Amino acid sequence: MPLQSFTFVLGGAASGKTAFAERLVLSSGLKPVYIATAQAFDSEMQAKIDRHKDDRGTGWRTVEEPVDLASALSTVSGGEAVLIDCATLWLTNIILGEADAAAAEADLLEAVARCPAPVIIVSNEVGAGIVPENALARTFRNAQGKLNQRLAGQADTVIAVMAGLPLVLKGVLP
């Protein structure tokens, strides 16, 4: 089955969601594009970014864009398939940069709808744990939950990944 125009993949930390999403992109037969939202503020994050690059190999076109995903999506052609990894780090960048999160979300959703290529967005499910003890963490958790709901609402297919295994929540597994 071909890749849907918008697939949303979510799960917990280290659940296998990125690897699963990468396999979906590669199985499409289209040219793979990886839009990376991570920023390396410390050596641990740099090591994680380096691992992700090594795991992907050289066949991907990588666009590093921590904030302006609409611009990054505007560079994509119809012969490509896009993986945005991840909405959680993107939202972190928006909030910490004190940007207008509502406007950024609207721009992202519009850009995904306009994109001529299939798009897969990876995101963390952060609301299943305890209530965070500080206001910033609670603000982030709530904003991430609302963003995930908006992305899932627009997506053709929504897949939760747990222990590396996909569970289709909406649509059909490509």
Contact 134, 119 (CB under 8 A): no
CA distance 10 to 123: 5
Give, in degrees to the nearest 5, the angle at Cα 60 between 109 and 82.
Answer: 15
DSSP state of 28: T
Catalytic residue among 28, 31, 52, 53: 52
Length of the chain: 174
Q: Is 52 a catalytic residue?
A: yes
Q: What residues are labeled active site?
A: 52
